[in-house]
Chain A
Amino acid sequence: MATIALPVEEKKKYEQEALITGAEAIAVACKLANVDVVTAYPIRPYDTVMQYISQLKADGEMDCEYIVAEGEHSQFEIVKHASVCGARVFCGSSGVGWMYAMEALTVTPALRVPMVAMVGNRALDDPGAFGVEHNDALAVRDLGWLLNWVDSAQEALDTALIAYRVAEDPRMFVPCAISCDGAFLTHSQALVNIPTQEQVKQFLPPYKRGDLLLHPDNVISVAPQVNEDWVMEVRRQNYEVTERACGVIREVYADFERIFGRKYGNPFFEEYMTEDAEVVLLGMGTLSTPTRVAIRKMREQGKKVGFVRLRWFRPFAGVELAKCLERFKAIGVIDRDFSFGSPNLSGVVATEVRSAMYTGAATRPPVLGFICGLGGREVLVQDVEHMTDITFQAAKGKAQPLTQWIGLRG
Chain B
Amino acid sequence: MGQLFAVEIIYRGVFQKTLAKNITRGIVLAAHNEGKLGISFGRYGDSPERNGIPAKSFAIVASDAQTLEAGMAQYEPKQVDVTVVLDDTLCKGAESWAWYGLHPVHQALKPGGTLIVDSLQDAPTLLKGIHRRQEPYKLGIVKGVTSFSGMWVYKDDHTDVRILGAIAKALPAVVSLASIEKFINEKLKNPLKATSAHTTFERFTSMNVKPGEGNAEEPFSFQLPKWNNMRKGVSVNGQPQGGPYADPVTKEVGGFRPVRNDKFKKYSTRTMRPVVNFETCTKCTLCWLNCPDASFDVTPDGKYDANLEACCGCGICEAVCPVPNCITMVAETAFDGNASQWEAFRKDKAAYKEWLKATVQPAGERSHGFRYRGQYKEQIPAVLEIAEKG
Contact = CB atoms under 8 A, between A and B. Distances in A.
A381 to B, nearest CB: 48
B227 A236 contact: yes
B232 A229 contact: no
Contacts of B234: 110-112, 222-224, 226, 234
Interface string A80-103: 000010000000000000000000
A212 B45 contact: no
- For the complex of A and B, the 8 pairs showing the least CB-CB separation, nearest first, are A219-B238, A233-B227, A112-B233, A236-B227, A212-B233, A220-B235, A222-B235, A227-B45
Contacts, number: 58
Given A236-B227, A237-B227, A220 B236 contact: yes
Contact of A233 (B98, B230, B235, B239): B230
Listed residue (B45, B233, B237) with the most chain A CB atoms within 10 angstroms of its CB: B233
Contacts of A212: 231-233, 235
12 contacts: A173-B232, A212-B231, A212-B232, A212-B235, A219-B239, A219-B240, A220-B236, A221-B237, A222-B233, A229-B224, A233-B227, A237-B228
Contacts of B99: 229-230
Contacts of B377: none
A319 B233 CA distance: 29
Contacts of A276: none
Given A227-B97, A229-B99, A237 B236 contact: no
A61 interface: no
A227 B45 CA distance: 7
Contacts of A222: 233-235
Interface in B98-123: 98-99
Contacts of A110: 233-234
B226 interface: yes
Listed residue (B224, B234, B236) with the most chain A CB atoms within 10 angstroms of its CB: B234
A228 interface: yes
Nearest to B46: A227
Interface string A225-246: 0111110111011001000000
B17 to A, nearest CB: 19
B381 to A, nearest CB: 40
Contacts of A229: 99, 224
Interface in B180-215: none
A227 B47 CA distance: 11
Nearest to B44: A228
A303 B239 CA distance: 69
A128 to B, nearest CB: 37
A83 to B, nearest CB: 10
Nearest to B229: A233
Contacts of B224: 229-230
A112 B236 contact: no
B237 A220 contact: yes
Contacts of A113: 233
Contacts of B235: 212, 220-223
B240 A111 contact: no
Contacts of B45: 227-228
A158 B227 CA distance: 35
A238 to B, nearest CB: 9
B236 A224 contact: yes
Nearest to A228: B45
Nearest to B45: A227
Contacts of B228: 236-237, 240
Interface in A21-70: none
A236 B225 CA distance: 13
A235 to B, nearest CB: 9
Nearest to B75: A228
Given A227-B97, A229-B99, A233-B226, A221 B238 contact: yes
Contacts of A223: 234-235
Nearest to B96: A227
Interface in A229-275: 229-230, 232-234, 236-237, 240
Contacts of A84: 233
B262 to A, nearest CB: 14
A220 B233 CA distance: 11
Contacts of B239: 219
A236 B232 CA distance: 11
A84 B224 CA distance: 25
Nearest to B225: A233
A80 to B, nearest CB: 11
Contacts of B233: 84, 110-113, 173, 212, 222
A221 B236 contact: yes
Contacts of B231: 211-212, 220
B213 to A, nearest CB: 31
A107 B240 CA distance: 27
Interface in A269-301: none
A173 B238 CA distance: 21
Contacts of B98: 224
B294 to A, nearest CB: 15
Interface in B229-255: 230-240
A347 to B, nearest CB: 33
A228 B44 CA distance: 10
B228 to A, nearest CB: 8
A185 to B, nearest CB: 33
Contact of A219 (B97, B225, B237): B237
Nearest to A223: B234
Nearest to A231: B234
A335 B60 CA distance: 51
Interface string A126-137: 000000000000
A213 to B, nearest CB: 10
Given A212-B231, A220-B237, A240-B228, 17 more contacts: A110-B234, A111-B233, A112-B232, A212-B233, A219-B237, A219-B238, A220-B236, A220-B238, A224-B98, A224-B236, A228-B45, A229-B99, A230-B224, A233-B226, A234-B227, A236-B228, A237-B228
Listed residue (B98, B224, B225, B240) with the most chain A CB atoms within 10 angstroms of its CB: B98
Listed residue (B98, B226, B230, B235) with the most chain A CB atoms within 10 angstroms of its CB: B235
Nearest to A211: B231
Contacts of A111: 233-234
Interface in A301-347: none
